[in-house]
Structure 1
Amino acid sequence: MLTSALVLLCAAPAAAYVDPASGKPHPVRVLRGFDKPEYKWSAGHRGVDMALRIGGRVVAAESGTVAFVGTVAGTPVISIDHADGIRTTYQPVHASVTQGQEVREGQTIGKLGHPVDGSPGLHWGARIAKDSYIDPLSLLDMPVIRLKPL
């Protein structure tokens, strides 16, 4: 009985989100990480850039409701509101979904467009309030790294 309790305590929780560039529960390839600015008006990187080729399929990181589909500063953007209060944003993505549409985790929401600012890949952001950005990688399982003995 003690063994079963230990197994339950040590078991990793199931991932709630998936990498929108691969559909996997862990990040496959991050090109640029999250850099939270000191102040909401300061420079920083309010998301992560995931490796994905232009025209590649982008999937919803979690089930939710499409809150926004449109263009911001010349960049095609999709935002999804999730039941846990998090809003995820994907850019530059040419949408195959519409505002108000319900989407499932892993469902294709569009295709990666050409970067407007020259940064390659998919920019994926997450926030829990209007100006409270979080590292979207914190929503994923991290892969287990095992070192071989020398």
Structure 2
Amino acid sequence: MAAAVLALLTLSPPTTVLAAGTDVGVTVDGATDPTSTPRPGWAAPVPGALVAPFDPPARRWLPGHRGVDLAVAAGAVVAAPASGTITFAGPVGGRPVVVVDHGALRSTLEPVLPSAPVGSTVSRGDVVGHVDDDATVSHCAPEHCLHWGVRRGEAYLDPMALLGGAPPIVLLPVP
């Protein structure tokens, strides 16, 4: 019986969560399941249009987009998406990155030049840095964007789900 139930679980890869041009600079409240509904205390780190949605790889080692890209201007202020502690601020692969540990989840923000030191406690909306003026460090070059990734342990999550912008997981019948 358990095998039959497991066979019914079909998790499709996430699709475009919000249409390009959708403003995500809002704070929402809701339930606590980060897979499909908003979480209390979360907000987008910048106001801006979603330019590239979460597109996780089929296998951990394959290429994919393990976060979302939000359109921003060079030098834009970047805020903590939720309360936490800055646990890393420095270069990774030639790009400036800020990591905020929120407890069970952690956010990575790039390319962000930090304005607060490692160990700083931040609340949702506190400034953690500014988008690097150098567009060549952005994977959206020649445009600027903020890449926002969220992880629980080693698993990447769709950051838009924290704002209520991801589709729910649906059980499908076996054909």
Q: Do they superpose with TM above 0.5? A: yes
1:94 aligns with 2:113: yes
1:80 aligns with 2:105: no
User: 1:20 maps to what in 2?
Assistant: 45
What is the percentage of aligned positions where both structures have the same residue? 37
Q: Which runs of 5+ in 2 are unaligned?
A: 1-28, 31-38, 166-175
Counterpart CA distance in 2 for 1:137 and 1:107 is 19
The two structures, once aligned, show a CA RMSD in angstroms of 1.5
User: 1:121 maps to what in 2?
Assistant: 145
Counterpart CA distance in 1 for 2:150 and 2:110 is 12
TM, length-normalised to structure 2: 0.67
| 3-state SS, counterpart of residue 130 of structure 2 | strand
Task: Give the counterpart letter for 1:40 in structure 2.
Answer: R
Change (3 A) 1:107 1:117: closer
Q: Which runs of 5+ in 1 are unaligned?
A: 1-11, 23-27, 143-150
Question: How many residues get paired?
Answer: 124
Given the alignment, which residue of 34, 47, 50 partners 1:30?
50
User: 1:147 maps to what in 2?
Assistant: none
Asked if the contact 1:16/1:140 (under 8 Å) is kept, the reply is no
Asked if the contact 2:138/2:145 (under 8 Å) is kept, the reply is no
Change (3 A) 1:118 1:36: closer
Counterpart CA distance in 2 for 1:121 and 1:31 is 8
Counterpart CA distance in 1 for 2:151 and 2:59 is 15
TM, length-normalised to structure 1: 0.78
Counterpart CA distance in 1 for 2:43 and 2:138 is 25
